[in-house]
Amino acid sequence: MTNEAQIEVKNLTIGYGDFVLLKDISYRVNKGDVFIIMGGSGCGKSSMLRVLTGLVPPQKGTIIIDGMDFTRAEPSVRSDIMQRCGILYQSGALFSSMTLAENIALPLQQYTSYSEREINELVSLKLALVGLAGFEEFYPSEISGGMKKRAGLARALALDPEIVYFDEPSAGLDPVSSKLLDDLILDINHNLGTTIVIVTHELSSIFAVGSNSIFLDGETKSIQGYDNPRELLKNPPNEKVRNFLTRGGSEHA
């Protein structure tokens, strides 16, 4: 983790039509961060992720990625920026009619000039990286939910991204599979230096992997906490953050 910003969000307002979901939001994600976007249901976490990944435009404000204005960039520049990013969707979003190898090969076929042999080697490498060596010819229906998430992560890592976005990665997973995914996220962050941005409300994951975080509040449409999750737990800035981080009475400090 460094003090060099990889993503800068400046005065961002997110909404749909006349409805404002979040207003004048500003924060930064440094290179090497495992950055958590957290908050209760309906606070705008998922909408924030959609804006960060260019799926939805903000009503106002700017997103700077690696010094480039992602919000106002030409489509070709936005595409170039997004090729340096990977996304793991909540369901894994694998194509059910394709094998794991074919799923992971897809971005390599679309965006690189590698030969078929080189692509096959990279596919095997990415699957091994997420603990799925030997599963190349399996279909998504033939593997567990946790394995689907890891296969989705292998595809997100196909182009060696500098940033990987995660949408509720622990959703639908049992505690053991969730812990394995948390460990994998940390391994990728530590070993590859990948900047990670995670939208989640799962406390175990928040405290296990987060190096920095923001707490979004739907009522005030603002950031109500901005720090390492463990620091927010030790010194909560308000009752909303305290209540969110102490759900179930478990202490992680």
pLDDT at 249 over 60: no
Give the predicted TM-score (pTM) of the model: 0.92
What pLDDT digit, counting tens, does each position of 195-242 carry? Answer: 999 999 999 999 999 999 999 999 999 999 999 999 999 999 999 999
**Residue recorded with tokens 């995914």:** 181
| CA separation for the pair 13, 240 (Å, rounded) | 21
pLDDT at 183: 93
Q: Where are the domains of the chain?
A: 32-43+75-248
Q: Rounded to whole angstroms, how far apart are CA atoms 98 and 106? A: 10
In tens, the pLDDT along 13-31 reads 999 888 999 999 999 999 9
The two beta strands, 19-30 and 5-16, are: antiparallel
What average pLDDT score do residues 66-95 get?
Answer: 89
pLDDT range class, residue 1, cuts 50, 70, 90: low
User: What's the rounded mean pLDDT across residues 130-142?
Assistant: 94
H or E stretch at 7: strand 5-16
Q: Domain 32-43+75-248, what fold?
A: Rossmann fold (3.40.50)
Residue 92: CB atoms within 10 Å:
22
